[in-house]
Amino acid sequence: MLGQERRSRKPSFLAFCGGLLAAVAIGLSAYASHGVSEPLAQSHLNTAALYALGHGAVLAVLGGSSLNGLARVALYVLLLGTLLFSGSLAGNVLAQWPTTLAPAGGTTLMAGWVLLALSALKR
């Protein structure tokens, strides 16, 4: 029975991305602690790591679940927001990119959480 259930489940792109985000978050946090001496750069990396770890965990847990359509859209919006927000902050430190995408990422994250909350009402 267990083997049949395991075979019937499909791989989850969202859960995969969540696991990768969490792994990258650990690396960013370690680099902030051991490889960067400037306080602002450390702060940017730690904030990026915090958001990537938290949202990565949510994606890893919920991404493989059978969710309604709105919840699945909400998770993709959370993934996009995390990439924009954390990516902008980390890119600023690692590649001197501007942080201009961080506000859009934060807004996208808020929208994703609102969509996830609304999807809970549709169950």
DSSP-assigned states of every residue in 41-57: HHHHHHHHHHHHHHHHH
Residue among 14, 41, 16 nearest 29 (CA): 41
In a domain, 77, yes or no: yes
Question: Residue 35's domain spans which residues?
Answer: 13-118
Contact of 44 with 90, CB cutoff 8 Å: yes
Q: What is the rounded CA–CA span in Å between residue 78 and residue 82? A: 6
pTM: 0.89
76, with CB counted inside 10 A (0-12, 13-18, 19+), is middle
At a CB cut-off of 8 Å and minimum separation 6, what does 20 contact? 56
In a domain, 5, yes or no: no
Q: Report the domain count for the chain.
A: 1
Position 1 scores a pLDDT of 45
Position 8 scores a pLDDT of 56
In a domain, 23, yes or no: yes
In a domain, 27, yes or no: yes
| Mean pLDDT, 10 residues at a time, the chain of 123 residues | 56 94 97 94 96 96 88 96 97 94 97 95 80
Cα distances from 123 to residues 4, 15, 41, 58, 70, in angstroms, run: 27, 21, 42, 19, 10
C-alpha 112, offset from chain centre: 11
Position 42 scores a pLDDT of 95
